[in-house]
Amino acid sequence: MCRRFERMLVDENKKNEEKNEKLLEDLCECYLLLNEGISSELSSKIVPCLLKVALKKEENEEIQKEVEIALLALNNIESVAFIEQKLYMKEITEIIKYHQEHHNLTQLAYQSAWGFLIDRLGIDKSLKEVIVNELHFVRDAISELEYLMKCVDWTRKKEEERRGRERRGKEAKEVQTIFKWLFILDSFFEYCTLWSEELVVLINSIVKVFQAARENNREISVFCVHSLRDAVKYGSVKVEDLLKGGAFDAVLEGLQLQSLDEGMSFRGLNYFLIVTRKMKKKTDVDDDEMEEEEEEEKNGVNKDETEKEAKRKELKGKVLEKIEEEGYEDVITSFHEMFDFLNRKYYDELSLDISDYFVNV
């Protein structure tokens, strides 16, 4: 079917005066919703066509639906697909800025617009400045999460027994949109290391979603912990930001739930594994930055190393104190040893106490 749509797209684009614009739009949407992959040749036809639809600003239900579907289709393009900036940058920027001022898009459409742009970060790092400083993504993500969280009744059972068959596999639209925002944030944390003070507030917003969903929607709560882990793993936020945002307390509370399952226990312990490994480094930065700082130190350029080291030790003390208070120190140590075990090629290099570590886990 995808091949058929592709042939129809090519044929319709070859037409001049007889070109059916509505048919072309429908073909583009169907093709993307069925197929994540897109060639550079097709992207030059599909992306401008759907952005033209998404730029419509009439405030009526029919137009809103057209815009929503067009943006949903664009958001389905896989993140590894290269699309030239000239095909989308001006239009997607206008769509986001116009909504920020006039609130003309649906929640799902706006999330899809951001999803399309954030996915381009994976290949085009030059977008970081625009996304963070011009379009204020972090501020918008905070606002959207806070709003959507209030729209959901987190105390309600996910499925009522008498409606089980009718509602199975379905979730509230707001919950689905929260899920999509968490996926976008995960990509943002992976590809964008442009730090801002707003990130502490964003961490706190993710924590609030986690706390609201942990008893009722395990999938969302587990993915919140996954996002918090990736935020520090890829260097988007500092360990200090996680502490200020309440992430440590929240994850520790999640590990103590009576309904704790394998997904939450793994994500929670893996979160602390990444954090404690991060704190072993001299500074809370990635490996490339560490090499630069070490070189500067050798050359006498880095004058603040003593102060940085003191701050790092203080932060490490606070984190370890929290972990020790809840009795997770041995378990996390075990997790470190277990991951080292899985990564080693020669078993004769393993610790003599490896069996004790596996028992603790």
pTM of the shown model: 0.77
- Quote the pLDDT of residue 290: 45
Quick check: 231 and 198 in contact, CB under 8 A? Answer: no
Quick check: 88 and 130 in contact, CB under 8 A? Answer: no
- How many other C-beta atoms are found inside a 10 Å radius of the C-beta of residue 133? 12
- Quote the pLDDT of residue 220: 92
Q: What is the b/e burial string over 183-221, where b = at least 16 CB atoms within 10 angstroms of the residue's CB?
A: bbbbbbbbbbeeeeeebbbbbbbbbbbbbbbbebbbebb
Domain boundaries, the chain: 1-117, 136-153+174-290
- Quote the pLDDT of residue 186: 93
Cβ contacts of 264 within 8 Å, gap of 6 or more: 214, 218, 221, 222, 225, 254, 255, 257
Each residue's pLDDT, cut to its tens digit, for the chain (361 residues) gives 767 777 777 777 777 667 778 888 888 888 888 876 788 888 888 999 999 999 999 888 999 999 999 999 999 998 888 899 999 999 999 999 999 999 999 999 999 999 999 999 989 999 999 999 999 999 999 999 999 998 888 876 655 544 444 443 445 788 889 999 999 999 999 999 888 889 999 999 999 999 998 878 888 999 999 999 999 899 888 888 888 899 988 888 887 776 677 778 878 878 887 887 777 664 444 444 444 444 444 445 455 667 666 666 666 666 667 666 655 555 555 555 555 554 544 444 444 444 443 444 3
Torsion from C-alpha of 91, 195, 72, 172, nearest 10 degrees: -140
Instruction: Determine the 3-state secondary structure of 270 from DSSP.
Output: helix
- Quote the pLDDT of residue 354: 42
In angstroms, how far is CA 335 from the centroid of its own chain?
24
- 136-153+174-290 fold: Transcription Elongation Factor S-II; Chain A (1.20.930)
